[in-house]
A and B are shown apart, each in its own frame.
Chain A
Amino acid sequence: MGQDAPIRVMVVDDHPMWRDAVARDLTEAGYDVVATAADGAQALRVTAAARPDVVVLDLQLPDMSGVEVTRGLRAAHPAARVLVLSASGEQQDVLDAVKAGAVGYLLKSAARPEFLDAVRRTADGDAVFTPGLAALVLGEFRRLALGGGADGGGAGAPRLTERETEILRMVATGLSYKQIAARLTLSHRTVQNHVQNTLGKLHLHNRVELVRYAIEHGLADEP
């Protein structure tokens, strides 16, 4: 997609000034802003009808946590890709949203071209990794490998390959995919795929854990 039909974007943010500014930027750049929402409940209500390709989501909403909204959005309209746009960059919130299915994370202080590029890449199915997100994902895999936390881990925990770790560390220290590709003599696409895989493993693990939790607590009739 991208070339033929305009990318459909939904903006979820409780700050009206910011919401309008983002929507205007997107419209001016040729994106189709199909809906805006001021809180999580409203976002979940309209998303199925609006069918956005990308949801630009602020984590600090008045009614629901970023995790709940992300999970709800993925359930209501699985094709929507969630790009987290956060003002405060609170690490645990961001990590939780990413584990719940968000595929990208950007600080609100990011420049407009960077933001527009992130929306386009999210629509294309690429993960938008800032150095901050790479560090969070690295940290989470290490925590899981230790078997830490109540949400599983240890032997059954997903692991990063050496290559994936190497690439994430490079992303986390500010190298672009192009620079990484040059250093490792890989193609840009391969680097992108490696990064993407790390998120995929995290999402899969999270879904498995959710189902396991639901069965253990008698919340699900069928796995």
Chain B
Amino acid sequence: MSPAKVDSAEPLWRAIAVYRFASIGYAVLLVVIHRADYSRLGWAWVVIAVMTAWTVVTTIAYAHPERRTPLLLGADLAVTAGLLLSTAALQYPRAMQQGVMPVTAIWVAGPVLAWAVQYGRRAGVIAALIISGCDFVLRSEAITVVLNGVVLLLLAGVVVGHLARLAAEVETERQHVIQVEAASRERERLARDIHDSVLQVLALVQRRGTEAGGEAAELGRLAGQQEAALRNLVGGALAGTPATGAAGDVDLRALVLPAQSEQITVSVPAHTVRLKKEAADELASAVRAALDNVRRHCGEQARAWVLVEDEPALVTVTIRDDGPGIPDGRLAEAASAGRLGVSHSICGRLRDLGGSATIRSIAGEGTEVELRLPRRAGLPVARSPAAG
């Protein structure tokens, strides 16, 4: 058994102890009321005394999780059933036929609850059936009264068993969440403390190396690449902690920031940009397609900027490069020839999401791709910016 289960079940064990003592009080009351039905009233008080003693024993024994062994739980059930059956020798047969409550009364539910809490619903049902069986043997003539008791016992066994399992699950879940949170806090601390120092050194090497020239410049360039990669990792880890809050939402920034490199600057707002996961994935794919396009058409050294904007009704991502731009008409010509990645993977993706893509290009001043995604995904977009 996991320790988590023990923790969450403790209140239930205390409740069982309280129930047992309270039910003894009820049993005493019933003996007093029905004293005329007992052929051996003195023995009825002995049974009550044994019940009290057994309750004290089990309460002390059940208080410690390691003592809740099958042996103890079995003994609990056996002693309870025995006391229940002892009623046969104490009551007049007439009282049995009328369905007068046995001396033990509702106290017999104690082991049913214990079995349910310790071993779950099924065990609770089995214990309930055993106790009910004894009751049935005892009072078979008063079948409706006994059936009432059976139903209540079964109900107690099932409900309490279910409750115990639910509590254990919640506890396990809680432990898991605490662990995840502790781990992510530790990661944040590491990110801040250690990575920051590494970033400083890498940035310094890049700076000095570039100035020194020659082989040192190559070193500086490599340091710069690593600096950018590490900064993304840290920034991503901080900004893009897996989406909490509304189910299925993710932070678009966490998907777009990794594109950052020496040539590519990604600029985002300070707050999370929430989108449905599917929409965010598609949008991020469109951004990557646009950046691939920049590399393919403008070369490895072309610079590009990505801007993420978040408005209540609209998320906009703009990708601009400083390449030569697309000559007038080439885009349409290529699209009609059916061989341009741009129109298909970018415009198509956005259209499928219910958004739009605009491509603008000024000869000599690069190309600008604007991706607009309305927040209420699935709705067709009313706005139709001038097509590029």
Q: Are A108 and B307 in contact (CB under 8 A)?
A: no
The interface bits of chain B over 48-87 (1 if a CB of A lies within 8 angstroms of the residue's CB, else 0) are 0000000000000000000000000000000000000000
Selecting from B15-23, B123-131, B308-316, the interface stretch reads B308-316
Indicate whether A139 reaches chain B with its CB closer than 8 angstroms.
yes
Q: Which B141-190 residues have C-beta < 8 A from chain A?
A: none
Given contacts A90-B235, A91-B239, A131-B307, contact A136 B269 (CB under 8 A): yes
Choose, from B201-209, B342-350, B373-381, the stretch at the interface: B201-209
Interface residues of B in 297-352 (CB under 8 A from A): 303-305, 307-312, 318, 320, 322
Q: For A174, what are the chain B residues with a Cβ–Cβ distance below 8 Å?
A: 265, 303-305, 320, 322
Q: A15-23, A34-42, A119-127: which lies at the B interface? A: A15-23
Q: A88 with B322: in contact, given A132-B265, A136-B270 (CB under 8 Å)? A: no
Q: Which of A88, A112, A169 has the most CB of B within 10 A?
A: A88
> How far is A108 from B365 in the complex, measured between Cα atoms in Å?
28
Chain A, range 99-135, C-beta contacts under 8 Å to B: 107-109, 111-112, 131-132, 134-135
A89–B207 CB distance below 8 A: no
Which among B1-9, B191-199, B242-250 touches the partner chain? B191-199
Residues of A within 8 A of B192 (CB): 60, 88
Q: Are B320 and A88 in contact (CB under 8 A)?
A: no
Known: A92-B270, A140-B270, A143-B269. A87 touches B231 (CB 8 A): yes
**Which residues of chain B have C-beta atoms less than 8 A from A15's C-beta?**
197, 200
| Residue B353, interface by CB 8 Å | no
- Give the residues in chain B near A135, CB-CB below 8 Å: 267-269, 307-309
How far in angstroms is the closest Cβ of chain B from A62?
A: 9
Whether B206 contacts A173 by the Cβ 8 Å rule is: no
Contact B269–A132 (Cβ < 8 Å): no
Number of chain A residues close to chain B: CB under 8 A: 36
Q: Kindly name the residue among B191, B207, B311 whose own CB sees the greatest number of chain A CB atoms within 10 A.
A: B207
Which of A87, A136, A175 is in CB contact (< 8 Å) with B199? A87
B256-271 CB mask vs A (1 if < 8 Å, else 0) is: 0000000001011111
Set B199, B207, B368: member contacting A111, Cβ < 8 A: B207
Bound CA span A91–B251, Å: 14
A138 within 8 A of B: yes
* Shortest Cβ distance from A108 into B: residue: B203
CA distance A75 to B151 in the complex (A): 76
B231, B305, B307, B365: the one within 8 Å of A88 (CB): B231
B276-316 contact mask (Cβ, 8 Å, vs A): 1 or 0: 00000000000000000000000000011101111110000
Q: Which residue of B lies closest to A15 (CB)?
A: B200
Contact A60 B196, beta carbon cutoff 8 Å: yes
Picked from A21, A109, A143, A175, the residue with its CB within 8 Å of the CB of B224 is A109
Nearest-neighbour CB distance to chain B for A119, whole angstroms, equals 15
Q: Give the residues in chain A near B208, CB-CB below 8 Å.
A: 21
Among A94, A148, A169, the most chain B Cβ lie within 10 Å of the Cβ of A169
Place the interface of chain B in its size category: 35 or more
Query: Which listed residue (A138, A139, A146, A173) contacts B368, Cβ 8 A?
Result: A173
| Contact of A109 with B206 in the complex, beta carbons under 8 Å | yes
| A139–B268 CB distance below 8 A | yes
Q: Does A95 make an interface contact (CB < 8 A)?
A: yes
Is A212 an interface position by the 8 A CB rule? Answer: no
Contacts of B267 in A (CB 8 A): 131-132, 134-136, 172-173
Which of the listed residues A94, A111, A135, A169 has the most CB atoms from chain B within 10 Å of its own CB?
A135
Q: Which chain A positions have C-beta within 8 A of B371?
A: none
In the bound complex, how far is the Cα of B320 from the Cα of A179, in angstroms? Answer: 13
* Interface flag for A203 (CB, 8 Å): no
Chain A residue with minimal CB distance to B193? A60
B195 x A139 contact (CB < 8 A):
no
Distance A204 CA – B231 CA, assembled complex (angstroms): 31
Of the candidates B211, B228, B238, B271, the one whose C-beta lies within 8 Å of that of A143 is B271
Closest Cβ of chain B to A165, distance in Å, is 10
Per-position contact with A for B201-222: 1 when CB-CB < 8 Å, else 0? 1011011101100000000000
Say whether A142 faces chain B, with CB atoms less than 8 Å apart. Answer: yes
What 1/0 mask marks residues of chain A from 146 to 172 whose CB sits below 8 Å from any chain B CB?
A: 101000000000000000000001001
Determine which of A17, A94, A111, A179 lies in contact with B201 in the assembled complex, contact meaning CB atoms within 8 Å. Answer: A17
Can you list 17 pairs linking A and B with CB atoms under 8 Å apart? A18-B203, A21-B204, A21-B208, A88-B195, A88-B196, A95-B270, A107-B203, A108-B199, A132-B265, A139-B269, A143-B271, A169-B307, A173-B307, A173-B368, A174-B265, A174-B303, A175-B320
Give me the interface of B with A, judged by CB distance under 8 Å: 191-192, 195-197, 199-201, 203-204, 206-208, 210-211, 224, 227-228, 231, 234-235, 238-239, 265, 267-271, 303-305, 307-312, 318, 320, 322, 365, 368
Q: What 8 pairs between A and B have smallest CB-CB spacing?
A: A139-B269, A135-B267, A174-B305, A87-B199, A108-B203, A173-B320, A95-B270, A91-B270
Q: Taking A135-B267, A173-B368 as given, write out 15 further A-B residue pairs in contact, using a Cβ cutoff of 8 Å, ordered by the A residue number.
A: A87-B199, A89-B231, A89-B235, A90-B234, A95-B270, A107-B231, A108-B200, A108-B203, A109-B206, A111-B207, A131-B265, A132-B265, A139-B270, A173-B267, A174-B305
